[in-house]
Amino acid sequence: MSVVDRQEWDVVVVGAGGAGLRAAIEARERGARTAVICKSLFGKAHTVMAEGGIAASMGNVNSGDNWQVHFRDTMRGGKFLNQWRMAELHAQEAPQRVWELETWGALFDRTKDGRISQRNFGGHEYPRLAHVGDRTGLELIRTLQQKIVSLQQEDFRETGDHESRLKVFQECTVTRVLKEGRGVSGVFGYERESGRFFVLEAPAVVIATGGIGKSFKVTSNSWEYTGDGHALALLAGAPLLNMEFVQFHPTGMVWPPSVKGILVTESVRGDGGVLRNSEGKRFMFDYIPDVFKEKYAESEAEGDRWYDDPDHNRRPPELLPRDEVARAINAEVKEGRGSPHGGVFLDVSTRMPAEVIRRRLPSMYHQFKELADVDITAEAMEVGPTCHYVMGGIAVDSDTAAARGVPGLYAAGEVAGGMHGSNRLGGNSLSDLLVFGRRAGRYAAEYAAGRTDEGARTRVDDAQVDAAAAEALRPFSAEAEEPDAGPPENPYTLHQELQQTMNDLVGIIRREAEMKQALEKLAELRVRARRAGVEGHRQFNPGWHLALDLRNMLLVSECVARAALERTESRGGHTREDHPSMDRRWRPVNLICSLAGPADEPAATDPERGRIALERQTTEPIRPDLLALFDKEELVKYLADEELEGRSE
Ligand code: FAD
């Protein structure tokens, strides 16, 4: 048996972004001894990179806003595929979560009369995003970390140990959720620096690992986002929901190549920035889809007037939901009206005085100045779509964040599916993290307390620990295990091929033949990845870490490709060239991915067969009082015939 450090906790939270930290705070406040594990340094998570703001219908800038309007916008943005109960809870609870942050020390930008300022964003009817310049995520994480430190100080006063009830394990990667029977018994992972293995035993585990962007070549995501939590859940027996929906943010940097994909926040457009093609035309007016026609300006003049007088004008189409804008940019470039480096132009320089740009968009100003030598107060930025966010994720219960099928497993934040339907509105992620992070922490703590009270504390099975250790060590013996198969595969080469495949064949515009080709390539990569080999030892060895991450990226990519092939319509973050329209018959259909082979014997599974089983499931009917928030004429555009019949009964 391998030598593995072991500790006992009540709740283990995997991930220290907004969702993980909010879950940990809640679990600890409800009495659970809580451990938080994160792959990178504490404080370095995607959440810290969030720029534009956090969506909450506080109504500070326009008193017409309320949770019902926010709910409607979220459902429209997701093209009605959202798990409606999540969208309802999210819209109702987001304001409380923002005010709570203030009580914990967050300092948001203010309106002239001293309230939390709120800015416009795509798809939101009213100015709704509470913000701190374009560095909102930093303030959110800073505040949650500060709250954690204050709880640890409380614990110190009582127990003499800061970490007795809440401890952060940073630079540690979890590779397996351990089980006892159907339920959770803990996690297995390794310290990145020393390579040492560890087990945290716990009856409840919250997965909050964020996104999957690193499976794609052009992405706003950083190195940690290899779909680990999605894969951990699958391997533990929990299904994933609607993985075909991947958000390509319309505005990533396109130049220079070393920074391609880095995000240009939507606040640039929310604050007045406009998109133009190489002919200088504001092309978004040509791309307003029928479902949104009544809500968007018909002319540039009307769109421009809206910034000062939103009650008597309609918003400019630059503020359509992200999927629409990304497709429009893609089409302009394809038609030969792109910018010199294959994007389009995003201009604030002719729309706002230089000092306002520097004050409202300080990070963007510095990002372009330092990375591209472009002064955005004097010239336009070049931008194009970048893989940004995954709407698909672990299938969860809306109220409790419990993962389906695995007692004791919870999921919150980007890794959880359902909340955003087929397309997320900007700003709705930060609020999602807080609303469902808190819920996951609460229900995980309650579940753990139940297990402890009953005297039925889970025990970790040594055989599972040994299997997890052997799996993690495999890249060091890849050659020895199959000596006749030639030299081991280089994990970096495999990763590059995977990213290129997903970018080219399962990217922003999808075609049946290409997705089939992608699945063939993924099968080939799966076979080769079993032979991913590394040299050296376990002390900080990034090649080894990547070899382990490949398992997760391949699993998640297979889910995305299989589900994208199955859904023969275009909706939100899933665009099929061969099925270009949204098809109402697909509205009540969820696609569920689960593991096809045995989870505990990955090496024995036939890699060519594919590891993912896909099934269609009918969504739960939308509650009548929520449907009543929409006009019938609007619902007719989205709902399937049988759903509309149900409504009139
Ligand atoms: P993350 O913040 O991504 O954190 C994941 C955590 O999991 C990290 O601590 C990571 O180290 C850890 N982890 C991952 N795998 C493992 C593992 N195997 N073992 C241990 N730990 C692991 N949304 C908005 O609402 N508004 C915005 O303005 C906005 N701007 C954005 C700007 C950028 C550049 C980006 C990339 C995203 C932006 N988003 C925005 C989206 C939003 O930031 C993310 O969706 C959100 O922060 C995800 O939070 P999370 O808590 O789910 O995960």
Q: Which H, E and C letters describe 494-563, residue by residue?
A: HHHHHHHHHHHHCCCCECHHHHHHHHHHHHHHHHHHCCECCCCCCCCCHHHHHHHHHHHHHHHHHHHHHH
Measured CA to CA, the distance from residue 406 to residue 8 in angstroms comes to 20
* pLDDT value for 321: 84
User: Of all helices (H) and strands (E), which one includes residue 154?
Assistant: helix 136-159
What mean pLDDT is predicted for residues 220-235?
Answer: 95
Q: How far is the CA of 46 from the centre of ligand 1 (A)?
A: 3
* pLDDT value for 598: 61
Residue labelled with tokens 């709910």: 71
Structural contact between residues 408 and 203, judged by C-beta atoms closer than 8 angstroms: yes
Q: Which two tokens stand for residue 400?
A: 């409790």
The beta-carbon contacts of 574-582 under 8 Å, at least 24 apart in sequence, are 574/244, 574/245, 574/246, 574/422, 574/510, 575/323, 575/327, 575/508, 575/509, 575/510, 576/510, 576/511, 576/512, 577/509, 577/510, 577/511, 578/511, 578/512, 582/79, 582/638
* pLDDT value for 544: 97
Q: How far is the CA of 19 from the centre of ligand 1 (A)?
A: 8
* pLDDT value for 649: 42
Q: Which of 301-310, 402-411, 529-538 has the highest mean pLDDT?
A: 402-411
Per-residue burial over 557-578, b if 16 or more Cβ lie within 10 Å, else e, is: bbbbbbbbbebebbbbbbbbee
ipTM score of the complex? 0.99
How much of the chain, in percent, has pLDDT values that exceed 90? 84
Measured CA to CA, the distance from residue 39 to residue 222 in angstroms comes to 12
pLDDT, tens digit (0-9, with 9 covering 90-100), for 142-154: 999 999 999 999 9
User: Of all helices (H) and strands (E), which one includes residue 207?
Assistant: strand 204-207
* pLDDT value for 609: 59
525 vs 609: which has the higher pLDDT: 525
Structural contact between residues 69 and 126, judged by C-beta atoms closer than 8 angstroms: yes
Q: Is the pLDDT of residue 1 over 50?
A: no
* pLDDT value for 486: 81
Q: Give pTM, 2 decimals.
A: 0.92
What mean pLDDT is predicted for residues 541-560?
Answer: 97
Helix 542-566 and helix 512-529: axis angle, to 10°? 150
Q: Ligand 1 pocket test: which of 26, 47, 141 has the largest number of ligand atoms within 8 Å of its C-beta?
A: 47
What mean pLDDT is predicted for residues 575-581?
Answer: 94
Q: In the annotation, is 531 catalytic?
A: no
Q: Which residue of the set 28, 97, 249, 571 is catalytic? A: 249
* pLDDT value for 604: 40
Q: Is the pLDDT of residue 2 over 70?
A: no
Q: Ligand 1 pocket test: which of 73, 429, 434, 471 has the largest number of ligand atoms within 8 Å of its C-beta?
A: 429
* pLDDT value for 133: 87
Q: Is the pLDDT of residue 3 over 80?
A: no
What mean pLDDT is predicted for residues 198-209?
Answer: 97
Measured CA to CA, the distance from residue 24 to residue 18 in angstroms comes to 10
Q: Which residue's CA is minimally distant from atom 47 of ligand 1? A: 47
pLDDT, tens digit (0-9, with 9 covering 90-100), for 391-418: 999 999 999 999 999 999 999 999 999 9
Residue labelled with tokens 């509470």: 130
Averaged pLDDT score across all residues of the chain: 93
Q: How far is the CA of 491 from the centre of ligand 1 (A)?
A: 24
Helix, strand and coil percent figures for the chain, each rounded to 5: 45, 15, 40
Q: Which residue's CA is minimally distant from atom 14 of ligand 1? A: 209
* pLDDT value for 603: 42
Q: How far is the CA of 414 from the centre of ligand 1 (A)?
A: 7
* pLDDT value for 452: 75
Q: How far is the CA of 211 from the centre of ligand 1 (A)?
A: 7
381 forms beta bridges with: 346
pLDDT, tens digit (0-9, with 9 covering 90-100), for 423-475: 999 999 999 999 999 999 999 999 999 987 666 677 899 999 999 999 999 99
Q: Is the pLDDT of residue 204 over 60?
A: yes
Banded model confidence at residue 51, pLDDT cuts 50, 70, 90: confident
pLDDT, tens digit (0-9, with 9 covering 90-100), for 176-197: 999 999 999 999 999 999 999 9
Q: Which residue of the set 33, 70, 269, 587 is catalytic? A: 269
Ligand 1 atom nearest residue 173's Cα: 19
Q: How far is the CA of 367 from the centre of ligand 1 (A)?
A: 20
* pLDDT value for 510: 94
pLDDT, tens digit (0-9, with 9 covering 90-100), for 479-495: 777 777 788 999 999 99
Q: How far is the CA of 437 from the centre of ligand 1 (A)?
A: 12
* pLDDT value for 463: 95
Pairing of strands 612-618, 589-595: antiparallel
Instruction: Give SS3 for 46.
Output: helix
Q: Is the pLDDT of residue 293 over 80?
A: yes
* pLDDT value for 605: 47
Measured CA to CA, the distance from residue 334 to residue 330 in angstroms comes to 6
Would you tell me how many other CB atoms lie within 10 Å of the CB of residue 114? 8
Q: Is the pLDDT of residue 214 over 50?
A: yes
Q: What are phi and psi of 36, to 5 degrees?
A: -115, 135
pLDDT, tens digit (0-9, with 9 covering 90-100), for 262-280: 999 888 998 899 999 999 9
C-alpha dihedral sign at 464, 466, 469, 475: negative
What mean pLDDT is predicted for residues 227-238?
Answer: 98
* pLDDT value for 409: 98
What region, left, alpha or beta, does residue 53 occupy, with left being phi > 0 and alpha being psi -120 to 50 degrees?
left
Pocket of ligand 1 (CB under 6 A): 14-20, 37-40, 45-47, 49-54, 136-137, 173-174, 208-210, 220-221, 224, 228, 263, 389, 413-415, 426-430, 433
* pLDDT value for 396: 98
User: Of all helices (H) and strands (E), which one includes residue 230?
Assistant: helix 228-236
Q: Which residue's CA is minimally distant from atom 6 of ligand 1? A: 15
Instruction: Give SS3 for 407.
Output: coil
Ligand 1 atom nearest residue 19's Cα: 51
Q: Is the pLDDT of residue 523 over 50?
A: yes
User: Of all helices (H) and strands (E), which one includes residue 411?
Assistant: strand 409-411
Instruction: Give SS3 for 603.
Output: helix
Q: Which two tokens stand for residue 582?
A: 């949204």
Q: In the annotation, is 609 catalytic?
A: no
* pLDDT value for 456: 67
Would you tell me how many other CB atoms lie within 10 Å of the CB of residue 314? 18
Ligand 1 atom nearest residue 232's Cα: 18
Q: How far is the CA of 53 from the centre of ligand 1 (A)?
A: 14
Q: Which of 89-98, 372-381, 607-616 has the highest mean pLDDT?
A: 89-98
